[in-house]
Chain A
Amino acid sequence: MPGKLKVKIVAGRHLPVMDRASDLTDAFVEVKFGNTTFKTDVYLKSLNPQWNSEWFKFEVDDEDLQDEPLQITVLDHDTYSANDAIGKVYIDIDPLLYSEAATVISGWFPIYDTIHGIRGEINVVVKVDLFNDLNRFRQSSCGVKFFCTTSIPKCYRAVIIHGFVEELVVNEDPEYQWIDRIRTPRASNEARQRLISLMSGELQRKIGLKVLEMRGNAVVGYLQCFDLEGESGLVVRAIGTACTLDKLSSPAAFLPACNSPSKEMKEIPFNEDPNPNTHSSGPSTPLKNQTYSFSPSKSYSRQSSSSDTDLSLTPKTAPYPQGPRIYLCPSSPSLSCGSLHLKKSCLLLSESSLTPHHSSLVSPVLRKSVSFSEELFLAASGMGSGSAGKEGGPFKALLRQQTQSALEQREFPFFTLTAFPPGFLVHVGGVVSARSVKLLDRIHNPDEPETRDAWWAEIRQEIKSHAKALGCHAVVGYSESTSICEEVCILSASGTAAVLNPRFLQDGTVEGCLEQRLEENLSTRCGFCHIPYDELNMPFPAHLTYCYNCRKQKVPDVLFTTIDLPTDATVIGKGCLIQARLCRLKKKAQAEANATAISNLLPFMEYEVHTQLMNKLKLKGMNALFGLRIQITVGENMLMGLASATGVYLAALPTPGGIQIAGKTPNDGSYEQHISHMQKKINDTIAKNKELYEINPPEISEEIIGSPIPEPRQRSRLLRSQSESSDEVTELDLSHGKKDAFVLEIDDTDAMEDVHSLLTDVPPPSGFYSCNTEIMPGINNWTSEIQMFTSVRVIRLSSLNLTNQALNKNFNDLCENLLKSLYFKLRSMIPCCLCHVNFTVSLPEDELIQVTVTAVAITFDKNQALQTTKTSVEKSLQRASTDNEELLQFPLELCSDSLPSHPFPPVKEHLESASSNSGIPAAQRATSVDYSSFADRCSSWIELIKLKAQTIRRGSIKTTVTVEKASPVGDGNFRNRSAPPCANSTVGVVKMTPLSFIPGAKITKYLGIINMFFIRETTSLREEGGVSGFLHAFIAEVFAMVRAHVAALGGNAVVSYIMKQCVFMENPNKNQAQCLINVSGDAVVFVRESDLEVVSSQQPTTNCQSSCTEGEVTT
């Protein structure tokens, strides 16, 4: 698909004065794409020139269209000397290459100069005409959609979730080239900006190619990062999850994790298929079986063969011929090979579904076809699962092995998604992470970035094996990061080991069919916290109990994950942000010695971070962490660890035990007293936190439960005394697993310090909540006010006799003060919640610590919150019952039942769910850590906790239910309901949020990815207000440029916004500073639902029944 790029330069405004004599400017514009440059006329003597140029046309390959940015340079004409540059605008034209995103880029762009910042604005119109070209050997991947959002985007439906895609490209950093010695800082900065822009274009194109190979049409959870390796080069790498997405054709379709209860779609439903040879075309509706049309008959035969296989596996209960959706019309040459594998795998599947690693073709050359076959295989095995639930246990185990082996054949069964369609997650194992310390060397041949590839492959392999050790075949919520200091680089990867429902890898959402829902509801609802591993052969010592919801399966006592809280998990009370912060001094060293020192320190840091997290979690009275992100940063003379997560109380997991303090010298009376004083303080804090976060699980006596209680092992331990000597030292296992309670031993000042630091964390002021996940567990009544912000702090440590303790304290204070400042600044928004709080630590220099925070404050309705508070217990019970009811009603289509107050709760279930909240009161449980260290690289660890999922009926789910109910009956009515959006209220305003949604609004269109990289430099730092003034202005400018690009695409918001890098360097003595910022996000169009909002806000919490009824009443 070559294309014609057309650019028109309309006008400029607010240009800077370039000619001191006249106080005016003679501006003209150069428009450059690839190697072609056009110029406008010079518009004499004006600060607001009107060029109104002709259309400049560039005829280019689509490969270039994807790689190159459009470069617009505004200059001041000078007759006698060289023309002075005023500034530049880089426009990524990628959004114009999808058929459905933006069709034109038109608007005012800030003119940016790396030395002076924004200098006026320019109005530009850009269009692209693409010609269809069926060249199969193309290098471009136009049409593949990219999303930063780590869930299935709101107005799409996942047909297939293919899996992990990754790519990296390397280059020399222009800043370190010899030529940099003789060129101006501006030229150097511009070279860098341009190079990175080119590299990310190339990277995106290459990822797109991989997606096309996998027969996908989109990348979700796309995360692109830069490693500034200094002398050794510049690495741009990206990971993502390849999917086949369908635009939702009906407003009644399923929208995962959307928090608003109403669903009107403004757009005319259509199903466009940008990639002609992927899958079916034609409108897709929830009743998809009828509407899917398969075009070429050739492929149909193939597909029928596979569905035959399916049928042989699938018992008659599967009433819909929906299997073969993915195998549609493969018409590219590569297909023949793919289909071979398909047959092979299907065959294998039907013959012996337990064959592990049956396809041993994992050679690089064949990667493509292999991945294809895997996917098919998976899909085939997925068919089995739909009915498997009915067959009961043994079959299920078999199934699990099937899926597992299928997933294992993927090179990396990773998913960068953090939120999933309900039912997708079967079990969650725990966090898996791996780190590796590497010495950087110059990348000799940029075209063969093999070392970097190998490094990452190694780490991913490790992650994969960890997941396997946890009995999981997949890793979700997967992410990768680096920390570089001089020539040492720490590579980190982490994710959550999980068992997935294979059906979803083949078939995304709604069409999951009723059977499946039933199955899920009955068995897998609380299933995601059930342990995926074999309890007799546990990968690490953990304390298992029976699930507090279903009482049938085992759950761990705590659960750590990197994903968002599943929408169907039952949570008691509210969540809160939990951070572990840690510093470790390290000797300055060179190269190898340095790397070794770091490697040696890492295990201790990991361990301590984990301990801190565990302590703080218990202090909050909670039992699970979501969105865990551990960042280890390396500096010249220290290592910093910062872990952030959102703690919650999962109803399926046991009540966390308290924290016991034990002294080592029991004979000293005053010491004892001190200890007991501390103990009291800790107990008080726990009690206070429980109140604060409204954690009050109903206490129901154990008899009612009538199900097995903890294993004898654990029970016996209950009787043992709490103070235990350090006998566990004999084992190399560093877990706390052998202790009854979480015992803190105060045997030296360090430990004292730890206890103190535990207690110093102050809770946010009343009216504030914070979390680092997408939505705050326990709050569902969001109002529409949002404020995204970035805050940066740098502190200078006094270099004198730094100790670990002093360092820890400084770091802790830094973070705490930063949070306090945020609470103060945003006080006018109370009651509000800081969501997606994202801390990043860097160590720019010896004694400097830099912390960058990006988050969004969202207001919510306090009255309803209060109401929730008052009745939270009853609510949870009621919730449970209505849920159960819903489960029943659903398949039976009793949804027209309009008597919400008079449900028919299945008594047994009701009792059970009620009792499930009880549990062994204050059960003494231990934390478990498995800890393994590796010789040459650092370490990795796995951890878990537990949880339960009866059913949560928070806003998001409420939506789901409403919609689902409406779909069979009131599809048409629903559309009638859509109210005219109040568009004028949002004119010109571009909202930015790190979340994937906008409260009180509905995203109607994704316009493309925003991925921007800026450098700003100054040689007049003092004049620009010092470092703070400089960076403040720069960040404001970055926001402005992001907003301008979104507005030019026709959007009014950026979702999933993230500031991936903010590298700040200063040299106050020279009055200089430089900063690099990299941001990304998804440009979207949203429509307010203000009138529907009223309805939803009047409907208090989450009684699903009432919301269903409401839906029907309104329709």
Chain B
Amino acid sequence: MTSELDIFVGNTTLIDEDVYRLWLDGYSVTDAVALRVRSGILEQTGATAAVLQSDTMDHYRTFHMLERLLHAPPKLLHQLIFQIPPSRQALLIERYYAFDEAFVWEVLGKKLSKGTKKDLDDISTKTGITLKSCRRQFDNFKRVFKVVEEMRGSLVDNIQQHFLLSDRLARDYAAIVFFANNRFETGKKKLQYLSFGDFAFCAELMIQNGTLGAVDSQMDDMDMDLDKEFLQDMKELKVLAADKDLLDLHKSLVCTALLGKLGVFSEMEANFKNLSRGLVNVAAKLTHNKDVRDLFVDLVEKFVEPCRSDHWPLSDVRFFLNQYSASVHSLDGFRHQALWDRYMGTLRGCLLRLYHD
């Protein structure tokens, strides 16, 4: 006796959250059944393995049919084939678009192309995430990227509108899309201590301040690309590092202000020129794509690491950065105050977030 056909169709589509998770995690039906057996469900319900197998198959089939709709979540809302309560729909979408931190680490800042997809095998081996799950996550990134790539308006809003994600998840996707578009290097060993959350935070700040959409919401709203003009203008900041007088003046202003307030005052005083040069040079170099990509590497190399080696506490870093950016307003010879503020506003936020162990 072999089962040829075995289906269950409910008027309201049954969604088993546990099975959904297993499916999203890319387990085969056999593995999923084994995992479910291990969870003790048989004892709880008195079911047999055959029942579990049939149930799992059913759910997998349903998910497989739903997957096409999940690729365009608004379709899931309007389709008539599966009657699913709204809360369940939201859950399906949210879980489908959720991603593993380990995975996102591997692809963050990489081009979401076919070539990279070949690397998924390696990523799967490295992270222990099943290839199927990697593929789903990768395809999600790519799909979102493709849809919002050419779109105007707020990146987060666009993602939310077209994929019906929660605010949190939409922000994460905005970060992923932003990183992928600007191809920021995140894979260097130096950056390993950072979490996806750190990058996402920086991405958000950069989208707010560093992109075209940030300056003038009236004109072509593009959140994806950094504002080229702004990057070009930042060459002008170079004077802060190149002009020795200006640099000295800046240092003295900062030191005066921070005297007695900083636990690591002497270290700061000793390192000021290096740090300042580093930050200013990062800004000045951003006209080259290559340097844009290395932004995070540079920031960590030029600022985070020196401070960390001198054991600056975070509060001191905050004091320093505040004072460092504010003091520029008192430099009479410096004419690019607005530019500086825009740059440092973003940078200060990023650095504070990046500054941890």
Residues of A in contact with B (beta carbons under 8 Å apart) = 13-14, 108, 110, 118, 121, 765, 787-798, 810, 813-814, 817, 820-825, 827, 848, 850, 989-992, 1025, 1027-1029, 1031-1033, 1035-1037, 1039-1040, 1043-1044, 1064
Contacts and interface: CB of A to CB of B under 8 A. Distances in A.
A793 B64 CA distance: 20
Q: Which residue, of A788, A794, A821, A1033, has the highest number of chain B Cβ atoms within 10 A?
A: A821
Contact of A1043 (B2, B48, B80): B80
B75 A14 contact: yes
Interface stretch (B54-62, B96-104, B204-212, B218-226): B54-62
Contact of B4 (A13, A813, A848, A991): A848
A619 B14 CA distance: 34
Nearest to B5: A794
B65 A1033 contact: yes
Contacts of A790: 8-9
Nearest to B9: A1035
B45 A824 contact: yes
B6 A793 contact: yes
Nearest to B50: A817
B78 A824 contact: no
Contacts of A1040: 80-83
Nearest to B59: A825
A796 B83 contact: no
A991 B11 contact: yes
B51 A1032 contact: no
A813 B283 CA distance: 74
Nearest to A785: B12
Contacts of A990: 11, 83
Given A992-B11, A1025-B64, A1037-B81, A824 B4 contact: no
B338 interface: no
Contact of A813 (B1, B14, B47, B64): B1
Given A793-B6, A795-B2, A108 B51 contact: no
Given A827-B45, A1040-B81, A789 B61 contact: no
Nearest to B84: A989
Contacts of A765: 45-46
Given A817-B51, A824-B51, A794 B4 contact: yes
Contact of B83 (A795, A798, A814, A1043): A1043
B8 A825 contact: yes
A798 B82 CA distance: 36
Contacts of A794: 3-6
Contacts of B253: none
Given A824-B47, A824-B52, 9 more contacts: A791-B7, A793-B5, A821-B51, A824-B55, A850-B5, A990-B83, A1027-B5, A1039-B81, A1064-B5
Given A824-B52, A1025-B61, A789 B80 contact: no
17 contacts: A121-B80, A789-B11, A791-B7, A792-B5, A813-B1, A817-B48, A820-B47, A821-B6, A822-B8, A824-B45, A824-B52, A1025-B64, A1032-B58, A1032-B62, A1036-B65, A1036-B82, A1040-B83
B55 A825 contact: yes
A798 B3 CA distance: 11
Contacts of B45: 765, 824, 827
B51 to A, nearest CB: 5
**Which of A787, A810, A1027, A1032 gathers the greatest number of chain B CB atoms within 10 Å?**
A1032
Given A820-B48, A1036-B82, A796 B9 contact: no
Interface of B: 1-14, 45-48, 50-52, 54-55, 57-58, 61-62, 64-65, 75, 78-83, 85
B81 A788 contact: no
A703 B80 CA distance: 66
Contacts of B83: 989-990, 1039-1040, 1043
Contact of A14 (B13, B65, B79): B79
A1064 B5 CA distance: 11
Nearest to A990: B83
Contact of B5 (A825, A991, A1031): A1031
B55 A108 contact: no
Contacts of B47: 820, 823-824
Contacts of A848: 4
A1031 B48 contact: no
A823 to B, nearest CB: 8
B5 A788 contact: no
B51 A787 contact: no
A825 B14 contact: yes
Nearest to B81: A1040
Contacts of B14: 787, 825
Of listed B78, B81, B82, residue having the most chain A CB within 10 A: B81
A788 B81 CA distance: 15
A14 to B, nearest CB: 6
A673 B58 CA distance: 46
Which A-B residue pairs are the 4 nearest by beta carbons? Answer: A794-B5, A789-B10, A794-B4, A1035-B9
Nearest to B85: A989
A108 B7 CA distance: 27
Most B C-beta atoms less than 10 A away, residue of A792, A795, A1028: A1028
A1025 B67 CA distance: 14
A1072 to B, nearest CB: 15
A123 B8 CA distance: 30
Contact of B7 (A121, A788, A1028): A1028
A798 B1 contact: yes
Contact of B80 (A827, A1027, A1044): A1044
Given A793-B3, A1032-B61, A1033-B65, A110 B10 contact: no
A796 B1 contact: yes
Contacts of B57: 1028
Contacts of B3: 793-796
Contacts of A121: 78, 80
A821 B58 CA distance: 11
B58 to A, nearest CB: 8
Contacts of B58: 825, 1032
